[in-house]
Amino acid sequence: QLSDQQKMSESPLSRFRGVYLPPELHPLNKSLVKAGKWKDVDSTQEKRRSFLHDFCKKYNSRKKLRTHLVHLVSRIYVEDRHKVLYCEVPKAGCSNWKRVLMVLNGLAASAHNISHDDVHYGKHLRKLDSYDLKEIYTRLNTYTKAIFVRDPMERLVSAFRDKFEHPNSYYHPVFGKAIIKKYRHNANEEALKTGSGVKFKEFIQYLLDSHRPVGMDIHWEQVSKLCYPCLINYDFIGKFETLEEDANYFLQLVGAPAELKFPNFKDRHSSDERTSAEVVRQYLKELSKEERQLTYDFYYLDYLMFNYTSP
């Protein structure tokens, strides 16, 4: 029994260290879904949900995942009008998802005329960790929680191409310089000064290094560490590979306006070929067999949780 004084001095957050959310799988409310055309998408959705649920029951190592509730929900965006929680996974359609959330929230009339900067730097959307603990719990227990994922290698290569193969005023000086300095022997002054021209192999050396010269980044962090899918019961699991279909079904589920459809345009570098399995294969050729295996091992949990085939 804690004395009243101890209770008063105890941080409210400390009581939530190592909190675990209910592991039951709740049935999806499909009352707003119209037309029978969603039958196949719905069937796929149920398979994904039960697969993840079974995986978490079997493999969930709770000791490894002890963390504050506030940290668990730090990547989750809130849309109060339609009671939606969306966990952001970069390079898996997140820019267009944020556009859709802005439209649902009444912040924009259409997803098509919201700029990239407005989406990512506009501070229009609230994250779940900005609410107090009671409000966080209420939303987690009553809102429809969605996560959209992508084949881990495709997501990784897509992030590399986006951040290192195009001019970038943040990733080149912050990550590029550190990567070139540590992993490129005989690097010239220009490369060391600008951080531009990082090679995929150098990027992978950084990724696999337990003593990285610069920390991790959300664009290549594992989904298991961004969204904690075994601790938060996501009601909906979308995949980048079936993005439009999944997203439009989800919009029906939450009662979005009928005219709102998920945008299918490429957010940036629209002239570039999309990162496909074939594009990934070309990049993986630059790595040794051991590096390929270690990269797969790095994303092992993501492969397992979302039932992706190993490359």
Closest to 239 measured CA to CA, from 100, 44, 74? 44
Tokens found for residue 297? 């091992």
Longest dimension (CA), the chain: 65
Q: What percent of the chain is modeled with pLDDT above 90?
A: 70
Contact (CB, 8 A) for 187 and 132: no
Q: What is the pLDDT of residue 116?
A: 72
Which of 38-47, 169-178, 187-196, 263-272 has the lowest average pLDDT? 263-272
Judge contact between 260 and 251, C-beta under 8 A.
yes
Contact 140, 232 (CB under 8 A): yes
φ, ψ for residue 147 (rounded to 5)? -135, 140
- Structure confidence at residue 270 (pLDDT): 65
pLDDT class of 8 with cuts at 50, 70, 90: very low
Quote the CA–CA distance of 182 and 67 in Å, as a whole number: 32
pLDDT tens for 106-155 read 888 888 788 777 777 777 899 999 999 999 999 999 999 999 999 999 99
Q: Which residue has the tokens 């005219």?
A: 259
pLDDT reported for residue 113? 80
Q: pLDDT digit string (tens) for 34-88?
A: 777 899 999 999 999 999 999 988 876 554 555 678 889 999 999 999 999 999 9
Gap between the Cα atoms of 234 and 147, Å rounded = 7
C-alpha distances in angstroms, 134 versus 10, 139, 227, 302? 17, 9, 20, 30
Beta-carbon-side half-sphere exposure of residue 246 (alpha carbons within 13 Å): 21
pLDDT of residue 12: 43
Give the span between the Cα atoms of 239 and 21, in whole angstroms.
Answer: 23
Average pLDDT over residues 283-307: 97
If pLDDT is split at 50, 70 and 90, which confidence band does 294 have? very high
pTM (two decimals): 0.88
User: For residue 68, what pLDDT is reported?
Assistant: 79
In this prediction, residue 14 has a pLDDT band, given cuts at 50, 70 and 90, of very low
Q: Look at residue 7 and tell me whether its pLDDT is greater than 50.
A: no
**Mean pLDDT score of the chain:** 87
Q: Is residue 221 predicted with pLDDT exceeding 80?
A: yes
**How many angstroms separate the CA atoms of 11 and 146, rounded?**
30
DSSP 109: S
Query: How far apart are the C-alpha atoms of 43 and 30, rounded to whole Å?
Result: 12
Would you list the DSSP string of 234-273?
Answer: -SEEEEGGGHHHHHHHHHHHTT--TT-----S-SS-TTSP
pLDDT digits (tens, 9 = 90+) for 205-215: 999 999 999 99
Give the tokens for residue 206: 């950084």
**Coil/strand/helix, residue 84:** strand
CA distances from 1 to 13, 19, 21 (A): 19, 20, 24
